[in-house]
Amino acid sequence: MILEHQSEAYNLLTKANFVTQELRSRGKNAELDEEARDKVRDAVRPLVEHLCFLDEFPLSHPVSGNESFRSYFEGVRHATEFTQPIRQLDMQTRMFRSPVSYLLHAETFELIDTELQSAIAKGIETCMLAQGVEDSQWRSVVPAWFEGKARRDQKRKPESAKTPAP
């Protein structure tokens, strides 16, 4: 189950990265225009849904497995984990205890295009909000690259787009 989650996440990341790189190669500016950012957000949506476990099937019965694998898997710590371990398995009703994937701490996510990082961060923030997940349940497990990325789009929007019309 864990390998399936990881493989699907990397496949979706590869697709989103391809779209981002293709858009960058077409543009003459270092910054993507709004239309290109919309395409990146569209490409990121399936990845975000996967990283937020929206496609996760509920476990009808507890799953037991190899205890030495569980100990090893849960014991791996990334330098980017600072408050709460993200690799804790649940295996009672769902796979993980965390509402977001441990893969956010993988070096791959640190090295991807910043535009892609921003789209992922904003998508996860939106997803958690839509699911009613408390900030304290997910913000404590996201990596350092995530900080500030979710709010990056807000800085780009003109003031008229930030405040609703009366």
pLDDT exceeds 70 at position 47: yes
Q: What is the mean pLDDT of residues 2-28?
A: 91
Task: Dump the DSSP string for 61-110.
Answer: S-----HHHHHHHHH---TT--SS-S--B--SSSSBSSSS-GGGGSHHHH
Q: What is the mean pLDDT of residues 12-28?
A: 89
Question: 3-state DSSP: the chain helix, strand, coil percent, rounded to 5?
Answer: 60, 0, 40
Provide the percentage of residues in the chain whose pLDDT is more than 70: 81
When mean pLDDT is compared across 20-29, 93-102, 106-115, 127-136, the lowest value belongs to 20-29
When mean pLDDT is compared across 18-27, 39-48, 109-118, 134-143, the lowest value belongs to 134-143
Cβ atoms of 114 and 120 closer than 8 Å? no
Give per-residue pLDDT as tens, 56-103.
888 899 988 888 888 888 877 765 555 456 788 888 988 988 899 999
Give per-residue pLDDT as tens, 25-34.
887 666 788 8
pLDDT exceeds 70 at position 44: yes
pLDDT exceeds 90 at position 40: yes
